[in-house]
Structure 1
Amino acid sequence: MGRLSAGAHLTDRKGRAIPVPQAHDHTTGFTSLRSEVREPSLRVEGHLPAWLSGSLVRNGPALYEVGSTTMRHWFDGLAMLHLFTIGEGQVSYRNRALHSRAYASAVDAGAIRYREFATDPCRSIFRRTTTMFDLRITDNASVNVVRLGERFLALTDTPMSVEFDPATLETLRVALPDRPPAHLATAHPHHDTADSVLNHGVSIGARSRHRLFRQFADARRPEIVAEVLDQEPRYAHSFSITDNYVVLFLGPLGVRAVDLAAGVVHGRPLVESFRWRPERGSEFLVFSRTGGGLVKRLSAPAAFCFHHVNAYERGSDIVVDLCAYPDAGIIDAFFLDRLRAGDPLPGATLNRYVLDMRPDGATTTTGQPLFGDSFELPRINYDRNNGKPYRYAYGVGNVGVAGRPSGIYDALVKADVEARQARTWHEPGLFPGEPVFVPSPQATAEDDGVLLSLALDTGNQTSHLLVLDAATLTLLARATAPHRIPFDTHGQYYAGLSGDPRS
Structure 2
Amino acid sequence: MSNATDRAYELGFRTVETEYADRRLPVEGAVPSWLSGALIRNGPGRFEFGGERATHWFDGLAMLRRYGFDDGTVSYTNRFLRTEAYAAADSGHGATEFATGDGSLRRTLQWLRSLGPPEPTDNANVHVAQLGEHFVALTEAPRRIAFDPVTLETRGEFRWRDDVPEHLATAHLTVDPNREETIGYSTVFGLSPTYHVYRIPHGRAARRHVATVPASGPGYVHDCSVTESHVVIVETPLRIAVTKALAPWNGNEGLLDLLEYDETATSRFLVIDRDTETLAATLEAPPFFTFHHVNAYEDGDELVVDLVAFDDDEIVRALTFEALSEGAFATAPDGRFVRYRLRPDEDRVRRSERYDGGMELPTVPKSVRGRRYRYAYAQATDRVGANGLVKLDVERGTATEWWERGVYVEEPRMVRRPDGSAEDDGVVIATALDTRRERSMLLVFDAETLVELARAPLPHAVPFGFHGRYFPDA
**1:128-143 alignment to 2 at 5 Å?**
130-132=110-112, 134=117, 136-143=119-126
Q: Aligned pair 1:320/2:305, yes or no?
A: yes
Q: Please, which runs of 5 or more residues in structure 1 have no aligned partner?
A: 1-19, 498-503
Could you tell me which amino acid in structure 2 is paired with residue 89 of structure 1? G
Q: Distance in 1 between matches of 2:190 and 2:73?
A: 52
**1:159-308 alignment to 2 at 5 Å?**
159-174=142-157, 181-191=165-175, 197-215=182-200, 219-220=205-206, 222-230=207-215, 232-262=217-247, 266-308=251-293
Pair 41,231 (structure 1): closer, same or farther in 2 beyond 3 Å:
closer
Give the C-alpha shift of residue 54 in structure 1.
Answer: 1.1
Q: Distance in 1 between matches of 2:248 and 2:279?
A: 31
SS at match of 1:286: strand
In the other structure, the counterpart of 1:493 is 470
Pair 219,493 (structure 1): closer, same or farther in 2 beyond 3 Å:
closer
Pair 416,27 (structure 1): closer, same or farther in 2 beyond 3 Å:
farther
Q: Distance in 1 between matches of 2:4 and 2:102?
A: 26
Q: Distance in 2 between matches of 1:176 and 1:264?
A: 31
- Superposition TM-score, scaled by structure 2 size: 0.92
Match of 1:379 among 358, 363, 379: 363
Note the alpha carbon deviations across 1:395-440, whole angstroms, 9 max, x for none.
011252xxxx34xx61000011001121110011111101110000
Note the alpha carbon deviations across 1:86-139, whole angstroms, 9 max, x for none.
11221111100012222223224x1126x311112289xx97983346454222
Q: Distance in 1 between matches of 2:118 and 2:47?
A: 21
Q: Aligned pair 1:73/2:50, yes or no?
A: no
Q: Aligned pair 1:83/2:83, yes or no?
A: no
In the other structure, the counterpart of 2:342 is 355
Q: Distance in 2 between matches of 1:127 and 1:140?
A: 15
State the identity %.
38
Q: Distance in 2 between matches of 1:196 and 1:410?
A: 33
CA contact (8 A) 1:32 1:62 kept: yes
Pair 264,355 (structure 1): closer, same or farther in 2 beyond 3 Å:
farther
Give the C-alpha shift of residue 246 in structure 1.
Answer: 0.4
Q: Distance in 2 between matches of 1:128 and 1:319?
A: 36
Pair 148,129 (structure 1): closer, same or farther in 2 beyond 3 Å:
closer
Q: Distance in 2 between matches of 1:186 and 1:167?
A: 25
Match of 1:435 among 407, 412, 427: 412
CA contact (8 A) 1:263 1:269 kept: no
In the other structure, the counterpart of 1:111 is 93
Could you tell me which amino acid in structure 2 is paired with residue 130 of structure 1? Q
In the other structure, the counterpart of 1:390 is 373
In the other structure, the counterpart of 1:345 is 332
Q: Which range moved further: 173-182 or 62-71?
A: 173-182
Q: Which range moved further: 142-151 or 302-311?
A: 142-151
Matched positions, count: 463
Q: Distance in 2 between matches of 1:392 and 1:22?
A: 30
Pair 273,24 (structure 1): closer, same or farther in 2 beyond 3 Å:
closer
Q: Distance in 1 between matches of 2:87 and 2:157?
A: 10
Q: Aligned pair 1:460/2:437, yes or no?
A: yes
Give the C-alpha shift of residue 489 in structure 1.
Answer: 0.7
CA contact (8 A) 2:342 2:350 kept: no
Match of 1:49 among 9, 32, 35: 32
In the other structure, the counterpart of 2:15 is 32
In the other structure, the counterpart of 1:156 is 139
Give the C-alpha shift of residue 367 in structure 1.
Answer: 2.1
Q: Which range moved further: 39-48 or 473-482?
A: 39-48
Note the alpha carbon deviations across 1:176-235, whole angstroms, 9 max, x for none.
558662111221112358885321221012331111123576555x43321122351111
Pair 224,346 (structure 1): closer, same or farther in 2 beyond 3 Å:
same
CA contact (8 A) 1:263 1:273 kept: no
Q: Please, which runs of 5 or more residues in structure 2 have no aligned partner?
A: none
SS at match of 2:348: coil
SS at match of 1:427: coil
SS at match of 1:278: coil
In the other structure, the counterpart of 1:444 is 421
- Superposition TM-score, scaled by structure 1 size: 0.87
Q: What value does the CA root-mean-square deviation take over the aligned residues? A: 2.4
Pair 496,280 (structure 1): closer, same or farther in 2 beyond 3 Å:
same
In the other structure, the counterpart of 1:121 is 102
